Amino acid sequence: MIVTTKKLFEAAYGKYAIGAYNINNLEQAMGLFQGNIDSQAPFIIQISKGSRSYTNKLMLEGIIRAADEVFPESIFAVHLDHGDEATCMDCIKSGFYSSVMIDASSEPYEKNIETTKRVVDAAHAKGIVVEAELGQLGGVEEHVNVSEDNAKLTNPDQAKDFVERSGCDSLAVAIGTSHGAFKFQGSQSLHFDVLSQIQKNLPGFPLVMHGSSSVPQEEVERINAAGGKLLGAKGVDASQFRQAAQLGVTKINIDTDGRLVWTRVHREYFLEHPEGFDLRAPGKIFMAEYAKFIAQKNDYLGSAGHL
Ligand code: G3H
Ligand code: 13P
Ligand code: NA
Ligand code: ZN
Question: Which atom belonging to ligand 1 lies closest to the Cα atom of 51?
Answer: 9
Q: Which residues surround ligand 3, an ion (CB under 5 A)?
A: 105, 133, 136
Q: Which ligand is nearest to the CA of 107?
A: 3
pLDDT of amino acid 187: 66
pLDDT of amino acid 137: 86
What's the mean pLDDT in 256-279?
A: 98
β-strands 145-146, 18-22 pairing? unpaired
- Interval between CA 11 and ligand 4 midpoint (Å): 23
Q: What is the pLDDT of residues 101-150, one digit of tens each?
A: 999 999 999 999 999 999 999 999 999 999 999 998 876 665 666 665 55
Task: For the chain, give the number of residues.
Answer: 307
User: Is the C-beta atom of 79 inside 6 A of ligand 2?
Assistant: no
- Interval between CA 100 and ligand 4 midpoint (Å): 12
pLDDT of amino acid 258: 98
| Confidence band of 185 (pLDDT split at 50, 70, 90) | confident
Q: Which ligand is nearest to the CA of 145?
A: 3
Q: What is the pLDDT of residues 205-261, one digit of tens each?
A: 999 999 999 999 999 999 999 999 999 888 999 999 999 999 999 999 999 999 999
Q: What is the mean pLDDT of the chain?
A: 95
Q: Which of the listed residues 140, 254, 257, 260 should we mutate to test ligand 2's pocket, taking the one with most ligand atoms within 8 A of CB?
A: 254
Q: What is the pLDDT of residues 10-23, one digit of tens each?
A: 999 999 999 999 99
What's the mean pLDDT in 189-209?
A: 96
| Confidence band of 280 (pLDDT split at 50, 70, 90) | very high
List, by residue number, the catalytic residues. Answer: 81
- Predicted confidence (pLDDT) at residue 6 exceeds the cutoff of 90: yes
pLDDT of amino acid 148: 59
* Lowest pLDDT segment from 65-69, 163-167, 179-183: 179-183
Topology adopted by domain 5-301: TIM Barrel (3.20.20)
What's the mean pLDDT in 64-72?
A: 98
Give residue limits of the domains in the chain.
5-301
pLDDT of amino acid 146: 63
pLDDT of amino acid 129: 98
User: Is the C-beta atom of 48 inside 6 A of ligand 1?
Assistant: yes
pLDDT of amino acid 189: 76
Q: Whose CA is nearest to atom 5 of ligand 2?
A: 211
